[in-house]
Amino acid sequence: MLGLCYIGEDPTTVAMNNEKKLKINELFGQLKQVTDQEQIKEIESTILSLWLHSDNTSIEGLMAEGMEQMKESQYTEALDTFGRVIKMDPLYVEGWNKRAIVYYLRGEFKRAMNDIQRALIIEPRHFAAMSGMANIYREVLAYKRALGVLERMTQISPHRQTLDEQIRALKEKI
């Protein structure tokens, strides 16, 4: 399958990106079929790894730096680092997702939600971003909205037990 190249774009990179998209699509297909919880976790972990990977070594380095800053609770620095990633490649979904996590950790839910929405525009199946969205809705006691997000997630991973448990808990609160 050949992809279109923009002027100056490396055809090898385009081919690798197409391969990556095909692999991610294949994994999402598996998520709909697999019922074993450990296999579901493995598939989701593989998808997350594929999303995190960039062919741009500068982005790879900044992402590693930002995640280390996040781990060390250096949130201001992490926001700056992930912001640089986003400026370098606004279509790189994990830049938006990781920055959303930092905003969430700082209690800046509106900014986190904005970045989550950007991530979901780029990749509507981004289950980690959806999970973050559901968490924010729970934090602000918007249980019906959280329930709606979790129900959307079941379309992506219909056999994930933790989703069923979260949905049951939210239905009890509504």
Confidence of residue 131 (pLDDT cuts 50, 70, 90): very high
Q: Where are the domains of the chain?
A: 56-107
* Residue 122: both structure tokens together: 């780029």
Q: What is the pLDDT of residues 11-69, one digit of tens each?
A: 444 555 789 999 999 999 999 999 999 999 999 999 999 999 999 999 999 999 999 99
Alpha carbon 147 to chain centroid, angstroms: 18
Please give the Cα distance from 60 to 106 (Å, whole number).
24
Straight-line distance from the first to the last Cα atom of the chain, in angstroms, rounded to the nearest whole number: 48
Mean pLDDT of the chain: 92
What pLDDT sits at residue 16? 58
What letter would DSSP give residue 157?
S
- Please answer whether residues 58 and 85 qualify as being in contact, where contact means their C-beta atoms are separated by less than 8 angstroms: no
Backbone phi and psi for residue 160, each to the nearest 5 degrees, phi listed first: -80, 115
What pLDDT sits at residue 6? 41
Confidence of residue 2 (pLDDT cuts 50, 70, 90): very low
71-94 as b/e, with b when 16 or more CB fall inside 10 Å?
eeeebebbbebbeebbeeeeebbb
- Please answer whether residues 103 and 109 qualify as being in contact, where contact means their C-beta atoms are separated by less than 8 angstroms: yes
* List of E strands, 22-140: none
* Residue 98: both structure tokens together: 């990781």
